[in-house]
Amino acid sequence: MTMGRAYRAFAVIGIAGAIISIIANLLRWVSPDDFLVRNLASAIGLNLLVFGFFSSYLVLSSKLGRYGLISFIVGLLGMLWICCLVWGVAFFGPVLQGLDHTFTSHKPIPEMTPPLSSGFLSAVLLQGVGMILYGIALMLSRTALRWPGLLLIVGSVLGFVMVAGIDVLGPILENLAFIWLCKQVLQDGESEAS
């Protein structure tokens, strides 16, 4: 398998992860009390999305420079931290809800129980800052990828807003930006092959 094929395979996996993540975020509106399905879908989607993030950075690394590398590392660490927390909540959330019927993982972060609130707050900050920096790096690269960069910035800023409904819009915009980036990886791979 050549590197171009590997990048394209990672991009397809990333697109699938972004679509699953969008569905998981929409499930927060449809069935906010369904921990297992929503959190498992979110965890699976985020894990797959990491592959798309890798492929987009590896294909664009020469255009993004050092600033892109720093933003990629910060964003990747935040994504992985969120993945770990979402996997944890997917499995211990129903147990905690059985013990305390007021427990829900879809509360705003300040209203969550202390270990969850500090974990999610640090993860959201790290991932959000990383995505904002990555969006800025995309916009500074002077390529056709300024719009996905802008979507990443807007989505990350909206992700910091802890208002019900708007906090779902941020991750959806970020996932749309990753679909766009992964689609660009696929198109670049096809043009290299011909």
Backbone angles phi, psi at 97, to 5 degrees: -70, -35
Exposure of 15 by Cβ count < 10 A (0-12 exposed, 13-18 middle, 19+ buried)?
buried
Percent of the chain with pLDDT over 70: 78
The residue-averaged pLDDT of 44-51 equals 93
The dihedral through the CA atoms of 96, 100, 101, 105 has a sign that is negative
pLDDT digits (tens, 9 = 90+) for 91-101: 776 666 666 65
| Residue 11, pLDDT score | 94
pTM, rounded to two decimals? 0.83
Tokens read off for 5: 């094929």
Long-range CB contacts for residues 91-95, cutoff 8 Å, separation at least 24: 93/35, 93/36, 93/39, 94/35, 94/36
| Mean pLDDT, residues 106-131 taken together | 73
Contact 182, 56 (CB under 8 A): yes
Output the pLDDT for position 90: 72
Maximum mean pLDDT: which of 56-65, 110-119, 158-167: 56-65
Angle at 56 between CA 59 and CA 49, to 5 degrees: 150
CA pair distance 4, 24, nearest whole angstrom: 30
- Exposed/middle/buried for residue 159 (C-beta within 10 Å: 0-12, 13-18, 19+): buried
Give the mean pLDDT of the chain: 82
Mean pLDDT of the 116-138 span: 86
SS3 content of the chain, % helix, strand, coil (to 5): 85, 0, 15
Q: Residue 190, Cβ neighbours under 10 Å: how many? A: 11
Mean of pLDDT values over 10-38? 85
